Amino acid sequence: MRNIRMTIAYDGFSYVGWQVQPNGPSVQVAVEKAIRKLTGQDVNVLAAGRTDSGVHALGQVASFRIDSPIPCEGIRKALVKFLPPDIAVRDVVEVPEDFHATFSAKWKQYRYVIHNSPDRNPFLKNHVWHQHGPLDSAAIHEAAQVLLGTHDFRSFESHWPNKATSIRTIYEVTVRRQNFCPLWFGETDAGMVAADSGDFIWLEIAGNGFLYNMVRAIVGTLLPVGRGRRTADEVRAMLESMNRSEAGDTAPAAGLYLVRVEYDDEWSASDADRDNA
End-to-end CA separation in angstroms for the chain: 25
Distance CA 220, CA 127 (A): 16
Of residues 4, 188, 185, the one with CA closest to residue 87? 185
Contacts (Cβ under 8 Å, ≥6 apart) of 66: 1, 2, 4, 35, 39, 41, 43
Determine the residue type at 48.
A
- CA dihedral sign of residues 202, 146, 216, 277: positive
Active site residue 199: no
Amino acid 242 reads: M
CA angle, corner 158, sides to 155 and 162, nearest 5?
Answer: 100
> How far is the CA of 226 from the CAs of 47, 127, 143, 176, 219, in angstroms?
34, 21, 9, 11, 11
Question: What angle (nearest 5°) sits at the alpha carbon of residue 114, between those of residues 113 and 117?
Answer: 140
Report the C-alpha gap between 10 and 257 in whole angstroms: 9
Three-state DSSP state, 138: helix
Q: Which of 11, 52, 91, 273 is catalytic?
A: 52
What are the b/e assignments for 248-258, b being 16+ CB within 10 Å?
bebbbbbbbbb
Residue ranges in 63-129 assigned as alpha helix (H): 72-79
Annotated catalytic residues are: 52
